[in-house]
Amino acid sequence: MKTISIRLTSPLQSYGNEAQFARRTTGDYPSKSAIVGMLAAALGYQRDDPAINALNDLLFAVRVDQPGQVMTEFQTAEWKPGTRKLTYRDLLQDAVFVVAIGSEDEAWLDRLAEALRHPRFQLYLGRRANVPAGVLKIQTFAGQDPVGVLAQLPWQASRWYQRRSRRQASMSVQLIADAVLLPERRADLVRDAVHSFDQKHRQYSFRPIAVTKVQLANPEYKPAPTATAQDAFGQV
């Protein structure tokens, strides 16, 4: 088993879930289909390439290191000649995620890591306008599955966010993974296994996921100062 981790950060990210034309919401974390899409772009696959299906077989987990705040933008669309319709799009601001993908085929993982470093098509985080904030931080781990990697990998939140939580020695962060990686947790179904990104006929099926929490050390931890006898204001 080999696993690669990918730190995802950008001013704005958006991971669509069930939506209508007038309102498109975002999930709280990257979906597996979004990461499959990013890998397909890195490899140079077309939207309807059958090879996309093989990417669903990768083991997948994501850790929410810095939850984003949802913002809503509005757009106008001409849906009938001479008529404009107001539409709404939700996005995540200032979020940081760490994705881990794993496989027993180590050569395949090496190829994916190389493709992410030298992508054939532009990479983006959910929407074309949401490009990664710089070069992706990619790490490789041998002999570990995605959950094992994310349980041990240091906290990847932005430094300002870590400092904001400096009184906490450790942080409890959410981890979402393929259900097979968390057999002791309850499984839920999500419509997130993609078979085609064809804009005229997108195809998805259900896959089981499970959720847990992991404790991570805060590198910016500073214990609160203790009051002393000479510190008259320490008791205030």
pLDDT tens readout for residues 163-179: 999 999 999 999 999 99
22 occurs within a structural domain: no
Residue 78: the pLDDT is 62
Assign 129 a pLDDT band (cuts: 50, 70, 90). confident
Nearest to 93 by CA among 61, 137, 125: 125
Three-state DSSP class for residue 198: coil
Q: What value does the mean pLDDT of the chain take?
A: 89
Residue 156 in tokens: 């990847």
Q: What CATH number does residue 120 fall under? A: 3.30.70.2660
135 occurs within a structural domain: yes
Q: Give per-residue pLDDT as tens, 186-235.
A: 999 999 888 878 777 778 889 999 999 999 999 999 998 875 655 555 55
Amino acid at position 103, single letter? S
Q: What is the mean pLDDT of residues 112-139?
A: 93
Q: Return the beta strands (E) in the chain as ranges.
A: 2-13, 23-24, 59-66, 69-80, 83-103, 137-142, 170-178, 188-196, 203-217
Question: pTM above 0.85?
Answer: yes
233 occurs within a structural domain: no
What are the residues whose beta carbons fall under 8 Å from the beta carbon of 57, sequence distance 6 or more? 103
180 occurs within a structural domain: yes
Q: Give the structural domain span for 180.
A: 2-10+28-65+93-220
Domain count, the chain: 1
162 occurs within a structural domain: yes
85 occurs within a structural domain: no
Distance of CA 80 to the CA centre of its chain: 36
Q: Give per-residue pLDDT as tens, 48-89.
A: 888 999 999 999 999 999 998 988 887 776 666 666 677 788
Amino acid at position 179, single letter? A
16 occurs within a structural domain: no
Please report, to the nearest 10 degrees, the dihedral formed by the alpha carbons of residues 222, 227, 232, 236 taken in order.
80
Residue 219 in tokens: 């590198």
Residue 44, burial from CB neighbour count under 10 angstroms (0-12, 13-18, 19+) = exposed
178 occurs within a structural domain: yes
Amino acid at position 143, single letter? G
Nearest to 38 by CA among 113, 95, 89, 90: 113
